Amino acid sequence: MEPTSSLTVHQQIVSLLQKPDRVILDIGCNDGTDTRKFLELCPQAQLYCFEPDPRAAARFKKNMDHYLNKVNLFEIAISDRNGMIDFHPSNGNGDAKEWDLSGSIRRPKNHLVEYDWVRFDHPIPLKLDGWMDWCSEANLKCIDFIWMDVQGAESDVIAGGRNTLSNTRFVYMEYSDQELFEGQQSLQAILDSLPSFEVVTQYPHGVEGDVLLRNTSL
């Protein structure tokens, strides 16, 4: 549902980066919980955050408060092309009302069974930005670390950012082998699409998990 949030994981990642002015992308940053942890651990980092769900983006701005001048927030989805797409916002029942952690540009599939307390409301139109175009406009030549939580759209991000990923040192992403969303790739398929990356640590939990990857060509 959401990436491992243990501070130990963030500390491990920061220790691997080994420099103060790290360039970090938080793709699917939701309310900024992880963004804030990275800022606290490396205050000189350059952080670029992406969140397409307007509810989560609003909470990001509220929760980050005085940290906002230290981050760049883009209320878009990063993918393999420019244009518009239907975004499937998540919601929940009871205590999980207004659950916005499972929204995706991909239609929910097994997620409806594995997490039957999560529902998906009517899709909303969403702006897509091609990753290569965005990186070119941002003039980012090298990225130290990408924290990715895109709910089944991992292959879309990877397909749109192959050149960028070749200049990215570490990637941490959520995965599932259960096709929680239509067309979601398994972890092995993701690894096959990233031949220059190796697994540093895997964090399985339930029908999904998180994995930290290192670019062996850098």
pLDDT digits (tens, 9 = 90+) for 25-61: 999 999 999 999 999 999 999 999 999 999 999 999 9
| Position with higher pLDDT, 206 vs 148 | 148
Q: Taking the model in full, what pTM does it have?
A: 0.93
Q: What is the DSSP letter of 108?
A: B
Residues 6+ apart with CB under 8 A from 30: 2, 51, 53, 56, 59, 60, 100, 101, 149
Q: What percent of the chain has pLDDT over 70?
A: 97
